[in-house]
């Protein structure tokens, strides 16, 4: 296995892609990914290495089988975990299903779930470091994740730079450090 240093960000982008000048930027989940990149740009110590920058960019109208899917797989193979953005706007698109299916079921990558609608842990945790009803409700939006969550370690965090940094630094949520499958909410 090659060294995996990157974090793969998975998020919903509308299909077909928004034809406006904003393109993917018109999708809220993509905006949260952009926030993650901005945190890194503002603070070089923020522990995020973007797997999407490990291969050349592709156009939204690229061929799915010949270009897009192989590029997603290559980026995932370079990654030590997946950062999944979940929100009330998330839809289980073809790309999101493929990313999670390949990342979890083929590569066994741990997942750090960022609940983009919540900025407090009290909404995503039951108080005992386990996901709350509200968190689990969002899992239903992405059945491929919900149905396979027991196969990998998962960290559950609100949209917070501090909590996400804590999860990204935790070796239990990397492919190199995982040893048991469990759900964990920081508090």
**137 within a domain of the structure (yes/no):** yes
Residue 122, CA atoms < 13 Å, CB-side half-sphere = 0
**181 within a domain of the structure (yes/no):** yes
Q: How far is CA 12 from each of CA 1, 175, 176, rounded to the nearest angstrom?
A: 29, 23, 27
d(CA 61, CA 153): 34
**10 within a domain of the structure (yes/no):** yes
**123 within a domain of the structure (yes/no):** yes
**pLDDT tens per residue, range 52-104:** 888 766 555 667 787 788 999 999 999 999 999 999 999 999 999 999 999 99
Beta bridge pairs of residue 125: 131
**Domain extent for 123:** 6-185
- pLDDT on residue 2: 59
DSSP 45-103: TS---BGGGSS----TTS-IIIIIHHHHHHHHHTEEEEEEEE-TT----HHHHHHHIII
Q: In terms of Cα–Cα distance, which of 181, 170, 182, 173 is closest to 129?
A: 182
The residue that leads in pLDDT, 38 or 126, is 38
Instruction: Read off the CATH number of the domain in which 24 is found.
Output: 3.40.50.11200
**65 within a domain of the structure (yes/no):** yes
pLDDT band at 109 (very low <50, low <70, confident <90, very high): very high
**1 within a domain of the structure (yes/no):** no
pTM (predicted TM-score): 0.90
CA 162 to chain centre: 16
**pLDDT tens per residue, range 133-155:** 999 999 999 999 999 999 999 99
Assigned token pair, 108: 């066994």
For residue 185, give the 3-state DSSP assignment: strand
**pLDDT tens per residue, range 111-128:** 999 999 998 888 999 888
Q: How far is CA 42 from each of CA 49, 63, 66, rounded to the nearest angstrom?
A: 14, 35, 36
**pLDDT tens per residue, range 169-185:** 999 999 999 988 888 88
Pairing of strands 111-115, 79-86: parallel
Number of domains forming the structure of the chain: 1
């Amino acid at each position: 296995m090659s060294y995996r240093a990157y974090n793969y960000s998975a998020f919903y982008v509308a299909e077909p892609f928004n034809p406006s000048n904003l393109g993917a930027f018109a999708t809220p989940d993509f905006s949260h990914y952009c926030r993650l990149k901005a945190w890194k740009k503002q603070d070089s110590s923020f522990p995020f290495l973007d797997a999407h920058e490990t291969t050349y960019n592709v156009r939204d109208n690229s061929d799915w089988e010949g270009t897009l899917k192989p590029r997603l797989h290559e980026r995932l193979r370079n990654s030590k975990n997946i950062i999944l953005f979940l929100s009330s706007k998330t839809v289980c698109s073809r790309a999101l299903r493929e990313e999670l299916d390949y990342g979890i079921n083929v590569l066994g990558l741990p997942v750090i779930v960022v609940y983009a609608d919540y900025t407090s842990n009290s909404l995503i945790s039951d108080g005992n470091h386990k996901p709350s009803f509200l968190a689990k409700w969002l899992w239903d939006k992405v059945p491929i994740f919900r149905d396979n969550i027991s196969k990998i370690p998962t960290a559950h965090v609100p949209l917070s730079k501090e909590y996400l940094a804590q999860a990204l630094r935790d070796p239990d949520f990397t492919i190199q450090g995982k040893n048991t499958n469990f759900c964990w909410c920081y508090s």
